Structure 1
Amino acid sequence: MLALSTSLTDMTARDLRDPFNVNFTGLDGFIAVLGNASFQSAFGNTIMFVVLCVPLSMALGMALALMLNNGIRRLRTFFRAAAYVPVITNIVAAAVIWQYAFSITGPVNSALGELGVPGLNWLGEPGSAITTVVMMGVWRTAGTCMILFLAGLQAVPEEVYEAAATDGAGPFRRFWSITLPLLRPTTLLVTVLMTVSFLNIFEEPYLLTKGGPLGSTKSIALWVYEQFGFGNISASMAGSVLLLILVAVVAIVQFRMLRPKH
């Protein structure tokens, strides 16, 4: 409520000392934010992060869950913990490591050089910077997807697979006709969680690139943070309200599209 009420005014940082100077502006603040080129760019970047990161995180998480559920028998607990480590790793420490690894003289470019591939300015060019942020986002969230999918897989009765195998269904057919349909509730949960997470993406672009270069990795959350730091309180609050509305709308649409059909 505080964010909404503030977004309907022209409050700036100077008005915090004398709030009686604040004027009610109605929806003018929202119209100004929606027409702001920087916000529009941040909106597009955020949607791009969602479109790229959500399916990649879910696919990697599903692959890891399938391997841990069926393929890996020995040291299963170790590999499960290893896959989940990025989720609980301190984000600042992880970002420092990623900045070093993807610097111009870092080990990633050194490895590419050994293969005869020219290195990239990973954090200094728009295209490669987006790629680096996406990779870090997927690296951080795939473990969460894995744990949730693994829990769903372990809830599927083994007798169902045995009956399908007896009828001649191969591994792919069992996965497509049994695993995926029975994982529908889990898939809905993971999809919504990942979408909400990447709509609110902040740490990766802020710590890796500060939203650069040229604003190419700036998300809505980072834009809101910057506006607040600039003293544009009302614009910052309007941006946060718009982000909240976007998250709510996307979550509702996903629940309606993916919920089990009776």
Structure 2
Amino acid sequence: MTGRIDIRPVTGGNATGGRGSGRPFWTVRRRDNLVGYLLITPQLLGSVLFVLLPLGLVLWYSLHEWNVLAGTFEFVGTENYDRLLADANLREVLAGTAVFSVGLVVFNLALALLLAILLNQRLRGTTFFRTVFFSPVVVSLVAWTIVWQFLLQDDGGVNGLLGAAGIDGPNWLRGEGTAMSAVILVQVLKNVGLNMVLFLAALQGVPAQLYEAAALDGAGAWTRFRRITVPLISPTILLTSIITVVGSLQVFAQIAVLTQGGPGMSTTVLVYYLYQQAFQFHHFGYGATLSVLLFAIVALLTVAQWRMRRKWVVNET
């Protein structure tokens, strides 16, 4: 015997927690990964239960004819999609949806940006007007719509003001030429404050030195807006456009309260037509098929806007 003591580490799994490697199983990296998975688990479960599962059920229902009153649930394959392609009313519905969406997006974004520019000035009273323009956002949608329903009637407040000025106003919600414009106006005034706040935050992040340098070089107000303001707030423009487009395609309460899709089908948008087919006519299978169409349109427009950002959004590659 030499008297030397073997001090080599024991490599057994029981002594170190590893499996022959000598390293502990719960390393810092694995603990961090576990914490990350635990943090995203609630959101992941919510996405599965309230997004992926409903989408799967809608696709499944679109392949069936479900009559709740008769208690039947029959597999029909692609019959509902064939009916979708042959639906004579669908073209008019999609046209009305396009008119509403384009009108809402254009007027909402334009008015929100204009208000944000005006309220970004260092003037007295801007805080009060910011509150006034944003307050409709927090008001109940149904309450807001009911109030405007009374204001836009033939003998309502709007025509009362026009009559005081000697103008004979139309029946806004019952005329085919004015009903859609009235619905767009109500929705624009309801949500313009949200986009206004987003634009206002973006404008306050634009360095004032850029405007001063451009003014010294002789750039006018329009040139400064086009060359400085718009490029630097383009990420916010992208965000607000996506939010507004998606919201415009999902409008329902305003149509249901103000016009019920009329007169005729002049204000019947896709979501309201879906509601009519599923819950008024009890064609749940066809209603699910219209839901699939709505999802496809929303996804297509969102992806298109996201891909086009590289052409006009600053610092996007």
| TM-score, scaled to structure 1 | 0.93
> Sequence identity of aligned pairs in percent?
37
Which residues of 2 match residues 201-216 of structure 1 at below 5 A?
A: 201-216=251-266
Could you tell me whether the CA contact under 8 Å between 2:137 and 2:193 is conserved in 1? yes
Which residues of 2 match residues 137-152 of structure 1 at below 5 A?
A: 137-152=187-202
Could you tell me whether the CA contact under 8 Å between 2:195 and 2:240 is conserved in 1? yes
Cα distance in 2, alignment partners of residues 88 and 23 from structure 1: 44
User: Which residue of the partner structure matches residue 6 of structure 1?
Assistant: 61
1:236 matched to 2:291? The reply is no
What's the secondary structure of 1:14's corresponding residue? coil
Cα distance in 1, alignment partners of residues 293 and 182 from structure 2: 27
How many angstroms does 1:162 deviate by? 1.5
User: Which residue of the partner structure matches residue 199 of structure 1?
Assistant: 249
Cα distance in 2, alignment partners of residues 245 and 171 from structure 1: 41
Which residues of 2 match residues 1-262 of structure 1 at below 5 A?
A: 1-14=56-69, 17=71, 21-70=72-121, 73-229=123-279, 230-259=281-310, 260=313, 261-262=316-317
What's the secondary structure of 1:23's corresponding residue? strand
How many angstroms does 1:224 deviate by? 1.1
- 1:152 counterpart letter in structure 2: A
- 2:184 counterpart letter in structure 1: V
Specify every segment of 5 or more residues in structure 2 that has no aligned partner in the other structure, as ranges.
1-55
- Higher alpha-carbon Rg: 2
- 2:287 counterpart letter in structure 1: S
How many angstroms does 1:34 deviate by? 3.3
How many angstroms does 1:125 deviate by? 1.2
How many angstroms does 1:133 deviate by? 0.4
What's the secondary structure of 1:22's corresponding residue? strand
How many angstroms does 1:82 deviate by? 0.9
Between 1:91-100 and 1:34-43, the stretch displaced more is 34-43
What's the secondary structure of 2:120's corresponding residue? helix
For residues 186-211 of structure 1, the C-alpha deviation after alignment (integer angstroms, 9 at most, x for no partner) is: 11111111111101111211111111
How many angstroms does 1:219 deviate by? 1.0
Aligned CA RMSD, in angstroms, stands at 1.5
Could you tell me whether the CA contact under 8 Å between 1:34 and 1:40 is conserved in 2? no
How many angstroms does 1:36 deviate by? 1.7
Cα distance in 2, alignment partners of residues 26 and 77 from structure 1: 58
Could you tell me whether the CA contact under 8 Å between 1:50 and 1:195 is conserved in 2? yes
Cα distance in 2, alignment partners of residues 28 and 183 from structure 1: 47
Task: Give the number of aligned pairs.
Answer: 257
More helix by share: 1
Cα distance in 1, alignment partners of residues 268 and 276 from structure 2: 10
What's the secondary structure of 2:177's corresponding residue? helix
Could you tell me whether the CA contact under 8 Å between 1:95 and 1:207 is conserved in 2? yes
Specify every segment of 5 or more residues in structure 1 that has no aligned partner in the other structure, as ranges.
none
Could you tell me whether the CA contact under 8 Å between 1:49 and 1:134 is conserved in 2? yes
| TM-score, scaled to structure 2 | 0.77
